[in-house]
Structures are given as structure tokens and as C-alpha cells.
Structure 1
């Protein structure tokens, strides 16, 4: 978050100096509405960060495609076609069944939403041999609270189910939108093979 703020300040200084040639091409296109402009700014900052780190693959943006997310995915893909950004848009249907099911697994996710939570949980668990976690998160307090809010449950088929948002609201909990943004950042609905970049899972 602090890095993004520094990048925003740097961009503001460039604009004040009239250095439009250094800004992304997308930022020099016709103005967008307030919400779209904010999304565009985040795209530009993410891409500039990736470029500064020497990444050769595009920024990947994963969106829950259920409900309103379906329209957002379609709009952002059109933006990409119109060169407003270079990001790869990935729609995730969290209500779908996972691509694979291991009957022998201790925890078998019922839907992709459950798989998302369980996959991140596994990444945060210390390795029994080394005691080192594969993933460490630096989040704000709200996201940290939301990541520990849903209950772990099981259905009649023996699948692991994460407490639904409706059930969470019924017991006075807020929508875990910030937590799910963190989950989507590390979750890949399908394995991806990059040329020369190995396998992302």
C-alpha cells in the first residue's frame, strides 16, 4: 500500500511537470467516469510496478464472476481490446465445482469459493519439516479480521464448505470482500503454463 502511494505521488509530479510522454498510453486516452478512472489508475500503477520489477508477463486481475462481477469482467476485457490496459482479465466462477476432487483428501472443497479459502489456508500453514510458511501476508486490520471470520463446515457428501456470506450476515458479520480480494490474488482456478516461466498453480 505504501509503495502504491509513493507511485501515485510520483505520477502526480510527472503530470505537474508536463511529462505526459512518460505516462502509460492508456492514461492519455479520452477521460472516463469516476469509478472507471479509479480502476484505470490502479491498472496503470500495477503495470508500472510490474515493469519496474522486470516482469515480462502481464498483470493478472482475477474477479469473482458471479453477479455484478460478470459485467465487470466483460467491460475490462473490452478495455484490454481497446488498449486501455495490458492486464490479463481472469473471471473466476466461485459457484462452480473445483476442477478436480481427491476422495482421499482430508479437506475436499465443494465449490471453487471453498477451494479458494482452503488453498490460501494451506499456503499460510507452517511446513511441518521447516516451520516456514510458503506465504506471508501483510494486510490491514480489516482484511486480517475477515480472513479469520468464516466458519469451517462440512456437508452431507463429506466436502468441506466455508460459511456462506448469508450465514455470516445472519450472525452480524460483514461481507468479507477484502479477504476475498486477498484470496483471489493468490488463487489460480486452473494451472497456467508460461513459456519459460514454469507452472503457476
Structure 2
């Protein structure tokens, strides 16, 4: 007795593992591995937002397009873009352009707050004071001498330091943080 088995083969055009599928799977795997590597040991981005704005202004691109920058052989500045492209510039020319752009680029609120915070910290050390938590939106804080509140200090929109003895009192403006603190009656400690 003969037995017949019916088997249907897939058409010759059918390929369950096409190159496109393999390429997509490989790209997905690489993306996953890169994400895990960033989680374990994140890459440090040495460029600040201001650096990116300066570079973008010089080369007439957007800051988001700038990935990194490096100097090769001490004479060539390379700018790497997020999309993989690169541009090369003479180091001396690029340095001159950076100084020109830096001088004209406005300060961001964050940069302003960082600058004011460092000025305030230096003045507090000089006068032997401490300060409370800084209100970053208005850049103001409370000043203390030996845990005793001596007044309030801040920086206004007219780019002046101000100080006042109490919360609702009148403010006195000054050109420097040292002058604003001195207007509260605080003097620098004298070394013995």
C-alpha cells in the first residue's frame, strides 16, 4: 500500500530572513547596547550650552547640530555634527572668532545666576556671613551673621545689587555685592 503525503513548499521569492530585517535587528541591538553603555558609564559632554551657541554662531548652524569639537595637531579645529558631518577650521582664526562672539553673546539666566552666586559666595566669605536658600527667579536670599538674620540681599532687573534690613523695608541699591552688604552695616572682620 502506498501512502502519499501532500507537502507545499514556500515560493522561491519568500525569504523569512531578509537583509532588511537583519539590518533593522542589528541596528536595534546596537542602539540597545549603546543605551546600556550610557547607563553604566555615561559619556561626559564637555561642551556647555553656551559653547554650543558660540560654535553655532561662528559656523552659522544651530546649537543642536553641534556634537563635539577637538583640536588636531595643534593647528586644526574640528567641529563634529550630530548627523556625522565634520568641518575643519584654522585654530587661530577660530580662536579669534570665539572671542568676538563671546563678547557679543548675551548671558543666559542660568549663566547670570551662576555668576551672581559665585560673587555672593565670595562676599559672604569676605564678610564672615552665611546665606539662606537662594530664590533663583529673583536672585535674592537672606544673610546671616552667626545664625542671626541681618538682612536680605538680591540682584534686580536694573543689574544692581540691593539690600534691605527687613522683608518689607526699603531697598538700597549698590554697584557691587560688597557695597550692598556694607549698606547693611556689616564690616569685614579685621585680622588680629
If you compute each CA radius of gyration, which structure gives the higher value, 1 or 2?
Answer: 2
- TM-score under structure 1 normalisation? 0.21
Bigger strand share: 2
Bigger helix share: 1
- TM-score under structure 2 normalisation? 0.22
